A and B are shown apart, each in its own frame.
Chain A
């Protein structure tokens, strides 16, 4: 079964500094990987995905993520964090065999300090 690990509960970063949110995954076969962001009392907003192709994926709001097959990782990054980036971030994975169920990580609370 597929699974995702987000090792940190909370990530604190100063505004303007680079932001990294870590994610590792486990799946049989080729992974489909996703990052979502959730603001308080809201649903999840899609940020970016990796399906195939270039390992560096660019998404919404200046976020990007790098797929690393050997390390089974898909870390989310942003070069310069904004206070408005403070939110809950979820990494998710599904397999490529037609099973479209997503497995989510526990989520990372990102706090950007002004």
Chain B
């Protein structure tokens, strides 16, 4: 149980285009989803927290107009990288949590490798 999927698993796009990444909780309802960015051999950097039906909360230094997050349902959150540039190339990971009895951990998706050329 508690499986999170991401799509696509990898994407290559040209500079200036936009890319959408989907994060789905497959067998549970995720009240909260998190988006992380990870550079090679580094830790995860939290970008934003999204709760279903409300605006995402962005971490300091993350441009909300560049990284658009939508959490339209309890099983789907999307991250759109707008006007992508090579410096946006990274590994993006989402996670999901739910307010269930005894559940405290986040469940992570497999990640999306974004390469901007």
Contact = CB atoms under 8 A, between A and B. Distances in A.
Interface residues of B, number: 23
A100 B111 contact: no
Nearest to A6: B43
B26 interface: no
- Which of A90, A100, A105, A109 has the most B CB atoms < 10 Å from its CB? A100
Interface in B60-80: none
B32 A90 contact: no
19 contacts: A32-B104, A34-B105, A41-B113, A44-B44, A44-B95, A44-B108, A45-B108, A46-B107, A46-B108, A49-B104, A49-B105, A94-B104, A100-B49, A100-B106, A102-B34, A102-B106, A104-B44, A107-B41, A109-B41
Contacts of A104: 43-44
A36 B104 contact: no
A81 B111 CA distance: 27
B3 to A, nearest CB: 11
B54 interface: no
Interface size class of A (residues with CB under 8 A): 20 to 34
Interface in A84-114: 88, 90, 94, 100-102, 104-107, 109
Interface string B4-30: 101000000000000000000000000
A29 interface: no
Interface of B: 4, 6, 32, 34, 41-44, 46, 49, 91, 93, 95, 97, 104-111, 113
A-side interface mostly: strand
Nearest to B32: A100
Given A41-B113, A43-B93, A107 B43 contact: yes
Nearest to B93: A43
Contact of A42 (B32, B97, B111): B111
